[in-house]
Structure 1
């Protein structure tokens, strides 16, 4: 013990001595201090003569020589962080760090997680691999992340200095692709070489429903994949589909330019065809362009140009221009026909935040009246029932002056596809100055007759054009335009009468300007009255007076608190109005209506103007209006709620008529027909019911003309129902709630149709990835178990329309039709839908469409069939959902024109 203790003390002494500072030579202690004036600033850099021998200043040489042993450079350029759940072992002799069980290592932009990680800090290499659990199964696969690239292999070997790596059975995601390779060699951060690789868009990379197999791949993340011989494998069965080499772009951009492969079609009248062959141009982040074309073997062809544009927080829109050259039969046959049809669609919306005081919007749908009826492209099938095309382009601006001024410019278009008549305004100018209250005091209160007196100025300028398809945008169309300006200054006020009645009165002054008037005369050569157009400015001025009084009456019928229906509330809003317009006979002239010149008739030179002509006779009308609403309080079915539930019985029940005080009983009758209209919502607001009727108190003669004799005095009832109508719309689903995720029929809306699928769905052939399924990301097993444990998912839309006509004693139903659209999930991966209807007047089935779709995980299959009508057709599609591989598809469609 003594010897050991002596050795321990001796060893401690030497260790203590070794921990002090050692020098190569003695330092001579200076006895005298250096004067302050000769001391150098330690913060200033000094130059040693040993470093620069050219300096001639003599200085005492430093006897301490520089150490010739270079400091060893650190083996890594950054700090390494690591941890492990079971153990972290450092072997100084082998220069190894071993991490086991849930091991993690972080270095610069590299993150590595694995079951086991071995780091050789002498060779600057790291190895990561799996480990086995208690059952012998491999777990904790490596997860290697560098920047945005993530690789999940079986094992990996990586060099920190060269950035090179060897990876076994790697799994990675690049955009929509999932890639698995037997061996991967990483040359640097941007180039990988793969051997024995498969790539797919399937979510299960280890058991995909399809993949592309290749042995040699050069992979540049975020840019491209270049392969050697590539073979397509479906359900682990190799197919004959193979390419000697393949190139797949993998741009990080949302869209890239590329070819759009066509679909194959056939038609009885136009032969075989290729539809929707084209090219997509990703011109910039703000706009793109799609060019598509169709060609039929009989010579018919079509072209479409589609562009979408957007600027964030500013505006967005799209433009579609479609043209088709149609050939029917063959040249030389009597039924040979060649015609051109076109359609232009433009929608634009402006973000209100970009300019709060102004707005611009556009919704344009114009073209040939027969476009949707005769189009050979299936994207338009279902829109051939549209009878109207309409457009509107508007710009408005508010000037923050005192008083405030609002201005708007609007161009409108309405086109009847049956008559081919087109009504346009190019443009309509509307300008209004905010109300001015000249008698309001300093307190700002507008109370009473005088303080509520206000005036306003309105300007309405319009350039109106009525034309047809054949004259559209031709010189004759503009020569027939009518231009007019309407200036109005209304002076009005409102006040209370007897506390419960609200009254208003107004005087309106109008001035109308025209650029064209007419002059009527009898032409002896043509033996008829002709209208001569007189170009030049002309105007007339009118004024009128109106007043109204109304009130609100509330009535409640109580049935008792123990009743299911506790009370019914009835609200009536009656009102009486009076309007007077004097005669403006000074604006009327006479003309001879026959060759004798003795039969004169009166006319106004302004009568063909946009805003009409001034009245020839005094006009005095008394109007009667009555609106009603009915609602009830009922016991809530939810027993936890103590308050009764309010339900609406009738949203509105309106009655209106008028009495003409100046009626002569011959040319004009005093009482106007009574118009009744109403509406309500039933079944928790899922069913909308609207109805209306016109009741005439006067009888008619044998020719159907109204006579000055009440219908009841002519042996009839008090009122004669001349027309009535009723519409019912009902939407329901198995969940009892509206499916907000259900995609609206957008293309149908652009074509002028409905947003629902009562007239079928308009297939967007330019984007075949669109599906009826909106829950693709949910787990399949959970979906199947949920499906079989619940009701069959479905939704239905129902519409019914009934119209009755009896204007000339015809007494018949002139319209009676029903339309139904239903969609259902047959299985979690099968959807079916139908749109159909029946016309009970024509005794025929309306437009019918059957839809089937199968979700094949990475693939999609659908079948559409319209069995009836002039454009009976069917279409079959199967293809990959991914946009990168959307051209891998089979698209077959057939149109049978009858």
Structure 2
């Protein structure tokens, strides 16, 4: 997050505007070489060829070396060494006592440096006059460039006193940070004080060639690198004066970051008139800043926010945002009166890879009130109200590289459902693991055989889990039901080859779970008419184990069609595998209790509800089958210079899996699951699909029965579920030759506020916010009109989701929706866009937003419109792109009705 570094106060009658500016002076030498020739020699007999100024008689005073001379020593005419040069000629006029330097003239005296087409030095007045020269085409070239004390000025001509260094500058052109300064006359009083007359200030990229706007100052004072104090100032648009006039103005011009006021936004909404985003910016240091902003509404609602960005090169960077809003609806004393407090906290921290080789810290936090995005008055979060989850993660990891290496990580996570307002947190999760150890491997050489490949590993996972609701978040009640547990795992595995082509593996896993809270089921109580459950605090544990084996291979099939064909070959890769898993029953962890008044006996384990599950009582003896497929093709490359055919994937994967439980007394076969994915349009469109097929039939009530579906008069498998998702992003550039700069751009400002990086949910609607403007405004580039000769630039994104559900033959489409977003540039500086969607199941449009954008070079015009729904609203904005004058803006909005 970036905020303006200085503030500018601009007063017109009773209007007070705040400006924020950065200042840095630069200058470019306008130098056109003219070849020297004899024609430059002056016919004046009093003008003679000269040596450098320091060698001319009379410039330096010869002092008597006699030690007995009591007369005071005369101060030299020039106190510093003078360096001069010229490409054309250097002449000394004896009668006028002047030095003439012509064509690429150069003069240096102390810290003063002057370049120009011609320089005339008056030795009587100790003055230097510089101006350009007129070339053979009549063009005024080689304009002066004056440098002193790190400041640079590009005038049409100038006159300076070499001794006092006072002077006059005519037609000055200079740059102060983002501000271009054009002054008709500058009077240099000293190194720190300049008087300016008829000055134009603008951030236009072409200040000398019909700028879009400028601020004209009649008289003012410039302190280089510090400030400009101006008299009467007036805004002009394309040289047309406007009624925006101020009796005086103050422009800080320092190159250092400065604190200052943040000018607010004014408007009217359902909560009355409001002032938004007003506050103060603190430039704390070069590494961290802070912006405090507040909102106020005439019905009594208010809000505040704190935003900070920090960065330390080669160490870390991040930003922090906290928002709080106290919202009032209705009138106090009436039934519709209500008060709601909402908040949101966002923190992003990333560590530079160079900071540490063995440790890393990162954070991505987005938490707060579940209804924050739906109820917030902050326009910068408009596009995020469709989000139904908020999540956070803060992690620290450390690696101890000594053998055997140990990886250690601590993670705090948060997951929040904004619809149910249920919050799940782990504070924290500890994960530690030791690298695999091969106790029987040879000291040197490859590991061979089943014995040498035996390896084991140890890992531990510990959690402190909390489940709460939005109303109890950050209150002591949320910690009352916290659960703590540990899980220790020791896997032992080995792998080997069978018959050269088969890969086999064996595995044994032991898991030990520690809990600090268990349950006890009491027998049925006739007085209470129920069986009660008690929570028992204290340490308890259980251990489980399982055994497994797998066998698989890889088969390759290639179909060649010939190198002269467009499709030269198709390659099919098949990876079949079969695996076996055995898990015994752990009856020793189960107890019994009387569940009802009839004396029904039921079993339970005291580890029910544990975060790592409970020991299983059912014997599992399962054989699983899987078949993985990939399909590739070799095609002739369209590029005639390519020497090799192009490889494309027809199917990224197509997987089938099922299983058979040998120990089951019924319904032993598992449903057949199919998943797959493929790409289209040069891998820009990804399609994911899946389906579930059940081999068993169902009865009239929809319950699975011990009868195959084919034996019940149906097909071999019964389709119970299917899904399809796809997304695609393409543009007019997709049909042209790819350039490295043609990558599709995302909207990071949405992600900063906790939303999507694309604009399928629309874009944020607050262009007046200084932070948003800083992110949205891009560097102005030259627009190439030839881009429009063969078509109008456009882009389109869409995402489609379809889910079919049929477990009880209801044949229902549970989801069937399309979301899309598109933009089109009608002309080089006109852009329109839309974000919307359609729910084919509910037969209605989703959140729809229209966008209109006009690039006015130095200015930006935006209009966003949500035409229907409860969030119907519009927002108009026009303002200067540059952060220097970002508060020169006009905006009008009609927010959506919060009462709806």
1:205 is displaced (CA, Å) by 3.0
Question: 1:277: which partner in 2?
Answer: 278
Alignment of 1:243-642 (within 5 A): 243-253=246-256, 255-267=257-269, 269-521=270-522, 522-596=524-598, 598-642=599-643
Q: Distance between the aligned counterparts of 1:704 and 1:91, measured in 2?
A: 114
CA contact 1:175–1:222 (8 Å) conserved in 2: no
Greater Cα shift, 862-871 or 424-433: 862-871
Cα distance change of structure 1 residues 751 and 767 upon mapping to structure 2, 3 Å threshold: closer
Report the equivalent of 1:889.
889
In structure 1, C-alpha distance between the alignment counterparts of 2:120 and 2:831, rounded to whole Å? 52
CA distance, structure 1, for counterparts of residue 190 and residue 673 of structure 2: 81
Question: Normalized against structure 1, the TM-score is what?
Answer: 0.88
SS in structure 2 of the partner of residue 756 of structure 1: coil
| Equivalent residue, structure 2, for 1:59 | none
SS at match of 2:847: coil
1:780-799 to 2 correspondence within 5 Å?
783=783, 785-799=785-799
Distance 1:449 1:186, change over 3 A: same
* 1:891 Cα deviation from its structure 2 partner: 2.1
Q: Deviations for 1:529-581, whole angstroms, at most 9, x for unmatched residues?
A: 22100000011112211111111110011223332212110001111111111
**Do the aligned residues in 1 keep the contact of 2:877 with 2:889 (CA within 8 Å)?**
yes
Change (3 A) 1:215 1:704: same
- CA–CA distance in 2 between the matches of 1:628 and 1:620? 27
What is the distance in 2 between the residues matched to 1:748 and 1:671?
Answer: 47
Describe how 1:74-113 pairs up with structure 2 within 5 A.
75-113=77-115
Alignment of 1:691-706 (within 5 A): 691-706=689-704
* Deviation, structure 1 residue 479: 1.5
Q: 1:211 to 1:580 in 2, by over 3 A?
A: same
Q: Deviations over 1:289-314 (max 9, x none)?
A: 12222222222222221111111111
Q: Distance in 1 between matches of 2:788 and 2:91?
A: 53
Per-residue deviation, residues 339-366 of structure 1 (Å, max 9, x unmatched): 1111111111111211211111111111
Are positions 1:814 and 2:814 aligned together?
yes
1:74, distance to aligned residue in structure 2 (A): 5.0
Query: Of the two, which has the highest radius of gyration?
Result: 1
Whole-Å separation in 2 of the counterparts to 1:768 and 1:115: 46
Q: Give a deviation string over 1:108-145, Cα, whole Å, max 9, x none.
A: 43332222211234543211013334455533322212
Aligned twin of 1:220: 223
SS in 2 for 1:884: helix
Distance (whole Å) between structure 2 residues aligned to residue 275 and residue 697 of structure 1: 62
Cα distance in structure 1, aligned partners of 2:883 and 2:288:
18
Shift of 1:278: 2.0
1:438 to 1:137, Cα distance in 2 relative to 1, 3 A: closer
Shift of 1:83: 3.3
CA distance in 2, matches of 1:728, 1:792: 26
Q: 1:303 to 1:701 in 2, by over 3 A?
A: farther
Distance 2:476 2:727 in 1: 45
Provide closer, same or farther for how the CA distance between residues 559 and 143 of structure 1 changes in structure 2, counting only shifts above 3 A. Answer: same
Give the structure 2 partner of residue 678 of structure 1.
676
User: What is the rounded CA distance, in whole Å, between the counterparts of 1:141 and 1:292 in structure 2?
Assistant: 47
Q: Which has the higher contact order (CA 8 A, sep 6+)?
A: 2
- Check 1:768–1:242 CA distance in 2 against 1; reply closer, same or farther (3 A cut): farther
Q: CA 1:888–1:773 in 2, change beyond 3 Å: closer, same or farther?
A: closer
CA contact (8 A) 2:733 2:742 kept: no
Q: Does the CA-based 8 Å contact 2:770-2:883 persist in structure 1? A: no
Which segment drifts farther, 133-142 or 871-880?
A: 133-142
Which residues of 2 match residues 637-716 of structure 1 at below 5 A?
Answer: 637-665=638-666, 669-716=667-714
Q: Is 1:844 aligned to residue 844 of structure 2?
A: yes
1:132 paired residue among 118, 131, 134: 134
The whole-number CA distance in structure 2 between the counterparts of 1:221 and 1:81 is 26
Q: Is the 8 A contact 1:745 1:762 kept in 2?
A: no
The equivalent position to 1:163 in structure 2, one of 143, 162, 165, is 165
**Structure 2 residue aligned with 1:761, among 763, 782, 788?**
763
- Counting matched residue pairs gives 825
Distance 1:356 1:175, change over 3 A: same
Partner residue, 1:240: 243
Distance 2:776 2:474 in 1: 41
Q: Indicate whether 1:732 and 2:730 are aligned.
A: yes
Q: Which residue of 2 aligns with 1:36?
A: none
Alpha-carbon offset, residue 726 of structure 1: 1.1
Residue 60 of structure 2: aligned partner:
none
CA distance in 1, matches of 2:85, 2:607: 93
Offset at residue 524 of structure 1 (A):
2.7
Q: Please give the alpha-carbon distance, in whole angstroms, between the structure 2 residues aligned to 1:753 and 1:215.
A: 48
Q: Decide whether aligned partners of structure 1 residues 85 and 790 sit closer, same or farther in structure 2, where only a CA change above 3 A counts.
A: farther
Displacement of 1:606: 0.6
How far apart are residue 770 of structure 1 and its match? Answer: 4.7
Quickly say closer, same or farther: Cα 1:78–1:709, change in 2 above 3 A.
Answer: farther
- The aligned counterpart of 1:181 is 183
Structure 1 contact 75–122 (Cα < 8 Å) conserved: no
- CA separation of 1:788 and 1:433: change in aligned 2, threshold 3 A: closer
Query: Unaligned stretches of 5+ in structure 2?
Result: 1-65
SS of the residue corresponding to residue 519 of structure 1 reads strand
TM-score, scaled to structure 2: 0.88
**What is the Cα deviation at residue 873 of structure 1?**
1.5
> Aligned-pair RMSD on alpha carbons?
2.2
Q: Where do 5+ consecutive residues of structure 1 fail to align? A: 1-63
1:452 & 1:643 partners in 2: Cα distance?
A: 40
Q: Partners in 2 of 1:662 and 1:135 — Cα distance? A: 100
> Is 2:229 the partner of 1:208?
no
For the residues of structure 2 that align with 1:124 and 1:447, how far apart are their CA atoms?
A: 93
In structure 2, C-alpha distance between the alignment counterparts of 1:335 and 1:664, rounded to whole Å: 62
| Offset of residue 73 of structure 1 | 5.9
SS in 1 for 2:450: coil
Measured in 2, the distance between the counterparts of 1:580 and 1:250 equals 76
**Partner Cα separation in structure 2 for residue 424 and residue 318 of structure 1:** 22
Instruction: Indicate conservation of the 8 Å contact 1:772/1:853, yes or no.
Output: no
Q: Report the Cα distance in structure 1 between the residues aligned to 2:344 and 2:670, rounded to whole angstroms.
A: 43
Question: Helix, strand or coil for the counterpart of 2:471?
Answer: helix
Change (3 A) 1:89 1:258: same
Change (3 A) 1:787 1:543: closer
Distance of aligned partners of 1:70 and 1:368 in 2 relative to their CA distance in 1, 3 Å threshold? closer
Moved more, 325-334 or 655-664: 325-334
Taking a change above 3 Å as real, the CA distance of residues 198 and 593 of structure 1, as seen in their structure-2 partners, is same
Residue among 757, 775, 780 paired with 1:776 = 780
| 1:862-877 correspondence to structure 2 within 5 Å | 862-877=862-877
Other-structure match for 1:23: none
- Give the direction of change, closer, same or farther, for the CA distance of 1:637–1:136 in structure 2 (3 Å limit): closer
> Is the contact between residue 294 and residue 304 of structure 2 (CA under 8 Å) also seen in structure 1?
yes
SS of aligned partner of 2:492: strand
Moved more, 839-848 or 730-739: 730-739
Tell me the residue number matched to 1:152. Answer: 154
Tell me the equivalent position of 1:197. 199
Task: Tell me the alpha carbon deviations over residues 269-324 of structure 1, each in whole angstroms, 9 at most, x when there is no partner.
Answer: 32332222222221211111122222222222222211111111111111111111
